[in-house]
Amino acid sequence: GEDVEQSLFLSVREGDSSVINCTYTDSSSTYLYWYKQEPGAGLQLLTYIFSNMDMKQDQRLTVLLNKKDKHLSLRIADTQTGDSAIYFCAERWTGTASKLTFGTGTRLQVTL
Amino acid sequence: DVKVTQSSRYLVKRTGEKVFLECVQDMDHENMFWYRQDPGLGLRLIYFSYDVKMKEKGDIPEGYSVSREKKERFSLILESASTNQTSMYLCASSPPDRGNQPQHFGDGTRLSIL
């Protein structure tokens, strides 16, 4: 099957930028998503990018997509303690009943 | 907003019991999904359904079954629970596969099998 890989842990200081990286293997993916999971909760959709885009910005969030290298990143500007969570990237391709393949998740720890 | 509701946040059962996890969504979505989440493994798809009474195996269906008698409800069944099924279970739903249709998740059920 297709693999989506993420590093497991990232620690940043409050106010700095966080960059969470993701690599995927299926070049036919159409949409790529970032989800956030706070402690004890389900997954909340943060943002997404269509595969024909290189970049998408949404307030403090910037998504970069490098299709050639199959690399996706999520940058969080001015990281706050409320951003502490697990972040999952996920890829989707057409004709699969909206099935997603998720990465392993990156735990973001924000320190004061 | 889409609401996906899982009937229990925490559940403790014994080895060998038959366990039902229930999920209800209020947006008339065709697609529904069951995942389990384990540390370091991310989310793994157990089963999904794209219509009433339809079901498809995901990546790890062994030891599980599902039921979808009504569009809004998707049940996950552990036929004979085992300790290796202790996990966080997440339900999700989405509209049909047209354009960008992200999955919407419930809050999860943390299941412990003793």
| Cα separations in angstroms, A55 against A28, A33, B22, B50 | 18, 13, 38, 31
Q: What's residue B92's pLDDT? A: 95
The tokens describing A1, both together, are: 């099957």
Instruction: Tell me if residue A83 falls in helix, strand or coil.
Output: helix
Nearest Cβ partner for B102 among A33, A42, A103: A33
User: Contact A41/B107, CB-based, under 8 Å?
Assistant: yes
B1 near A CB under 8 A: no
Specify burial of residue A67 (Cβ count, 10 A radius: 0-12, 13-18, 19+): middle
> Who wins on pLDDT, A80 or B39?
A80
For chain A, the average pLDDT equals 90
User: Contact B105/A42, CB-based, under 8 Å?
Assistant: yes
Q: What DSSP string runs through A10-65?
A: EEEETTS-EEEEEEE--TT--EEEEEEE-TTS-EEEEEEEETT-SEEEETTEEEEE
- Which B positions 40-79 lie with beta carbon below 8 A of chain A? 40-45, 48, 50, 56, 58-59
Q: Over its length of 114 residues, how does chain B's per-residue pLDDT go in tens digits?
A: 769 999 999 999 999 999 999 999 999 999 999 999 998 888 999 999 999 989 999 999 999 999 999 999 999 999 999 999 999 999 999 987 666 778 999 999 999 999
Q: How many CB pairs under 8 A join A and B?
A: 61
Alpha-carbon gap, residue B21 to A11, rounded angstroms:
35
Q: What's residue A44's pLDDT? A: 93
> Who wins on pLDDT, B1 or A76?
A76
8 Å CB contact between A93 and A28: yes
Q: What's residue B26's pLDDT? A: 94
B90 near A CB under 8 A: yes
A98 contacts in chain B (CB < 8 Å): 31, 94-97, 101, 103
Instruction: Tell me if residue B62 falls in helix, strand or coil.
Output: coil
